[in-house]
A and B are shown apart, each in its own frame.
Chain A
């Protein structure tokens, strides 16, 4: 093949251009820390990276949601625990009052304790979490338990369930409405009856019907506590799962997008050597011609 000077010049500059392009690509990778920054550099990779990022963001939202559910459930749990203590104390009081022989003073102090307990239970039923009434179903902005004009306690909430999305197609109901937690006003009626019976010293009622009602209340609370506990456990598990998933996703994303520094730097150095070699060759090759050797 005939070789001309123009040809050599063109191929030298083409080679230099190619070397420089590779150097540039590697230095971009080193600077950004990413293997690709544009869809055309790796369409499949970019598509997967978008998928992982969406999943990560979604996971983050699920974690926030899970946290919210955690808060609600633990507030509900606390309220029920305290409610349980109140009912148990009331039961003790009514049993004691039914069997024992107390003086009038003692009896009236028992009665006033019972009234206090009743108010405490009412306050528990109107427990707030982040300024929302947790036992009102979907009616969370006003106290679910209040007295009407006739002095009757009534439940103003609804039967709503607050559903929290804690994973794709995974949801947790994070509240108990008044019907579920207190049987509407059932528990309060029992308590009211105890207070009345204590005030009126009606030991027959205290030992009979009322005791049964209060026991039913205690059972209800225990049942609900078990229910809430189970949900809490599920939420905790979900929280951990989401956390692990996030770590896993980040790892996948990093494996996909991030450069291996050791490898890229080595490659960069090799490329740099190649570029230097190309330059040196070019410098030697471009200089001489026959003219140099003629006098």
Chain B
């Protein structure tokens, strides 16, 4: 061990402390970068070689063993799962909010009011069957009611189309993220081949994966070399540098499916896409089917009674509403007044017998339909059926709101836990910088002392 090799120790020390400074600088610079995991420089003392006969083997200085990325795989995975669930419930909440806005209950412009008004008008007619004014009023209320039903139905369809459009763009987004992940995979493989690690690439990968997990539930397989394979909704999406893009298919009945490159269905279990698919394929069609059911029963029951009554012209057997045909058009959109009746209120059959203008008994029968159990195989009245529909929308909306709250809390907590591990603490970094600075100073001083000592050797002894 010569005095000259001591200079080597000084040099290594300067380099190592400077590296520490650099890493702290990188941390401070990225304190607010999304997805950034703090890094730590790992310093190790250089182990001296074994020299026989030397009792006090001196150290050989310090070296940088690596720059470690500090993060928690556990929290990362948890965060991704939570993000999937959270965005699923947010989507569901949005869907039900949209539906609620359409129904406008409780209020004066909801179907509840119009349905009640419709039956009230029949009750009113039953006591003044001769009155043209009241007959006209009934026709107007019935027409308002049919329009309100159609409007509600069409707005639900519009909402469904909006969701369907979003599915298209979200699937594009999934494909885009898949490409990004594949590109990062490629870079990771390249740097791995050069025996380098890039913490920043890994951060980017995690960020992309987290974004993807908000859209669809994913499973990630990490490999030795750092690259990942990703399954989304049970289908392979990314493998090393390759992506297998998803596509959207629409069935004839208006339902929408996501398919993988083989053409088989991708079945998400959570994520925003799952919420969207549920909205398009289940939630909205089910609500519309219930409205259809209500309309069909109403038309059938009112027509049945109306056909049995007599109008002011002594005619009988006329429908009040247009008959619902089985022609593929939803009943709600066929819901309209019988054209024979529309312009002529005298054609309303209020009487139970012919030639009795003051007879309103048939109208009374129709007004009683309001509390007659004609829905669900004779168990529920029409008004109760509708109330049940609104209540179930409310219950599901409420459920989604609660779930959003719960998962938001869980997500916040997990993010905190993760930041506790991976986040940059400025205080800590400043402390580190001070320490590195001091060590660097001392190393520099060490070099100058050794230099002085060498000077002494050369200048004084050689004289």
A residues neighboring B (CB under 8 Å): 1-7, 10-11, 14, 37-44, 46-47, 49-51, 53-54, 57-58, 60-62, 64-65, 68-69, 130, 132, 136-141, 158, 160, 162-165, 168, 171, 174, 257, 289-291, 294
Which of B1-9, B82-90, B111-119 has 4 or more CB atoms under 8 Å from chain A?
B111-119
- The minimal Cβ–Cβ distance linking A130 to chain B, given in whole angstroms, is 8
* Given contacts A51-B387, A53-B113, A141 and B357 within 8 Å (CB-CB): yes
Task: Decide: A138 and B430 in contact? CB cutoff 8 A.
Answer: no
B426 proximity list for chain A (CB < 8 A): 5, 289-291
A43 proximity list for chain B (CB < 8 A): 391-395, 397-398
A130 proximity list for chain B (CB < 8 A): 128
> Within B237-262, which residues are at the interface with A (CB < 8 Å)?
none
B425 proximity list for chain A (CB < 8 A): 2-5
Q: List 7 A-B contacts (CB under 8 A).
A: A5-B31, A40-B398, A43-B398, A58-B120, A162-B358, A289-B426, A291-B426
Cα distance A136–B202 in the bound complex, in angstroms = 94
B351 proximity list for chain A (CB < 8 A): 138
- The minimal Cβ–Cβ distance linking B337 to chain A, given in whole angstroms, is 21
Q: Name the residue on B nearest A138 (C-beta).
A: B356
Which of B184-192, B211-219, B292-300, B412-420 has 4 or more CB atoms under 8 Å from chain A?
B412-420
Task: Decide: A6 and B419 in contact? CB cutoff 8 A.
Answer: yes
Top-8 shortest CB links A-B: A40-B397, A39-B394, A43-B394, A138-B356, A4-B423, A140-B358, A138-B359, A47-B391
Cα distance A54–B351 in the bound complex, in angstroms = 26
Task: Decide: B105 and A11 in contact? CB cutoff 8 A.
Answer: no
- Extra 14 A-B pairs, beta carbons < 8 Å, given A43-B391, A137-B358: A4-B425, A11-B416, A37-B106, A39-B106, A40-B97, A40-B397, A49-B106, A50-B387, A53-B106, A54-B116, A65-B123, A65-B124, A160-B356, A290-B426
B383 proximity list for chain A (CB < 8 A): 54
> Within B403-445, which residues are at the interface with A (CB < 8 Å)?
412, 415-416, 419-421, 423-427, 430-431, 434
Q: Is B315 engaged at the interface, CB distance under 8 Å to the other chain?
A: no
B119 proximity list for chain A (CB < 8 A): 58
Per DSSP, chain B at the interface is: helix
Q: Is B100 engaged at the interface, CB distance under 8 Å to the other chain?
A: yes
Task: Decide: B394 and A46 in contact? CB cutoff 8 A.
Answer: yes
Q: Name the residue on B nearest A52 (C-beta).
A: B106
Q: Is B320 engaged at the interface, CB distance under 8 Å to the other chain?
A: no
Q: Name the residue on B nearest A174 (C-beta).
A: B127
Max chain A C-beta neighbours (<10 A), residue from B129, B356, B397, B421: B356
B105 proximity list for chain A (CB < 8 A): 39, 46, 50
* Given contacts A44-B391, A57-B113, A163 and B416 within 8 Å (CB-CB): no
Cα distance A61–B430 in the bound complex, in angstroms = 78
* Given contacts A6-B419, A57-B117, A47 and B361 within 8 Å (CB-CB): no
Task: Decide: A40 and B116 in contact? CB cutoff 8 A.
Answer: no
B371 proximity list for chain A (CB < 8 A): 168
Task: Decide: B124 and A64 in contact? CB cutoff 8 A.
Answer: yes
- The minimal Cβ–Cβ distance linking B353 to chain A, given in whole angstroms, is 7
B395 proximity list for chain A (CB < 8 A): 40, 43
Among B117, B364, B394, contact of A40 (Cβ-Cβ < 8 Å): B394
A140 proximity list for chain B (CB < 8 A): 130, 357-358
Task: Decide: A162 and B100 in contact? CB cutoff 8 A.
Answer: no
Cα distance A140–B360 in the bound complex, in angstroms = 12
Cα distance A57–B206 in the bound complex, in angstroms = 59
A171 proximity list for chain B (CB < 8 A): 364
Among B123, B356, B387, B388, contact of A61 (Cβ-Cβ < 8 Å): B123
Cα distance A241–B452 in the bound complex, in angstroms = 113
- The minimal Cβ–Cβ distance linking A27 to chain B, given in whole angstroms, is 18
- The minimal Cβ–Cβ distance linking A251 to chain B, given in whole angstroms, is 17
Task: Decide: A138 and B358 in contact? CB cutoff 8 A.
Answer: yes
Q: Is B39 engaged at the interface, CB distance under 8 Å to the other chain?
A: no
Task: Decide: B103 and A137 in contact? CB cutoff 8 A.
Answer: no
Among A39, A54, A163, contact of B361 (Cβ-Cβ < 8 Å): A163
Cα distance A47–B130 in the bound complex, in angstroms = 37
A10 proximity list for chain B (CB < 8 A): 412, 415-416, 419
A2 proximity list for chain B (CB < 8 A): 420-421, 423, 425
Task: Decide: B112 and A53 in contact? CB cutoff 8 A.
Answer: yes
B113 proximity list for chain A (CB < 8 A): 53, 57
Task: Decide: B358 and A132 in contact? CB cutoff 8 A.
Answer: yes
Q: Is B24 engaged at the interface, CB distance under 8 Å to the other chain?
A: no
Q: Is B332 engaged at the interface, CB distance under 8 Å to the other chain?
A: no
* Given contacts A38-B397, A50-B390, A132-B358, A163 and B126 within 8 Å (CB-CB): yes
Task: Decide: A47 and B420 in contact? CB cutoff 8 A.
Answer: no
A174 proximity list for chain B (CB < 8 A): 127
Among B357, B412, B427, B434, contact of A138 (Cβ-Cβ < 8 Å): B357
Task: Decide: B127 and A65 in contact? CB cutoff 8 A.
Answer: yes
Task: Decide: A139 and B357 in contact? CB cutoff 8 A.
Answer: yes
Q: Name the residue on A nearest B434 (C-beta).
A: A294
Task: Decide: A39 and B390 in contact? CB cutoff 8 A.
Answer: yes
> Within B343-364, which residues are at the interface with A (CB < 8 Å)?
351, 353, 355-361, 364
Cα distance A5–B364 in the bound complex, in angstroms = 73
Question: CB-defined interface of B70-106 with A at 8 Å, one 1/0 digit per residue?
Answer: 0000000000000000000000000011001001011
Task: Decide: A3 and B391 in contact? CB cutoff 8 A.
Answer: no
Task: Decide: A57 and B120 in contact? CB cutoff 8 A.
Answer: yes
A68 proximity list for chain B (CB < 8 A): 127-128
Q: Is B32 engaged at the interface, CB distance under 8 Å to the other chain?
A: yes
Among A5, A47, A53, A257, contact of B394 (Cβ-Cβ < 8 Å): A47
Cα distance A65–B360 in the bound complex, in angstroms = 13
Cα distance A37–B107 in the bound complex, in angstroms = 8
Q: Is B290 engaged at the interface, CB distance under 8 Å to the other chain?
A: no
B416 proximity list for chain A (CB < 8 A): 7, 10-11
Max chain B C-beta neighbours (<10 A), residue from A4, A41, A171: A4
A132 proximity list for chain B (CB < 8 A): 130, 358
Q: Name the residue on A nearest B36 (C-beta).
A: A6
Task: Decide: B360 and A162 in contact? CB cutoff 8 A.
Answer: yes
Task: Decide: A40 and B100 in contact? CB cutoff 8 A.
Answer: yes
Among B100, B358, B396, contact of A139 (Cβ-Cβ < 8 Å): B358
B123 proximity list for chain A (CB < 8 A): 61-62, 65, 165
Cα distance A62–B370 in the bound complex, in angstroms = 14
Task: Decide: B112 and A50 in contact? CB cutoff 8 A.
Answer: yes
Q: Is B175 engaged at the interface, CB distance under 8 Å to the other chain?
A: no
Cα distance A289–B426 in the bound complex, in angstroms = 7
Among A5, A141, A165, contact of B130 (Cβ-Cβ < 8 Å): A141
Q: Is B367 engaged at the interface, CB distance under 8 Å to the other chain?
A: yes
A11 proximity list for chain B (CB < 8 A): 412, 416
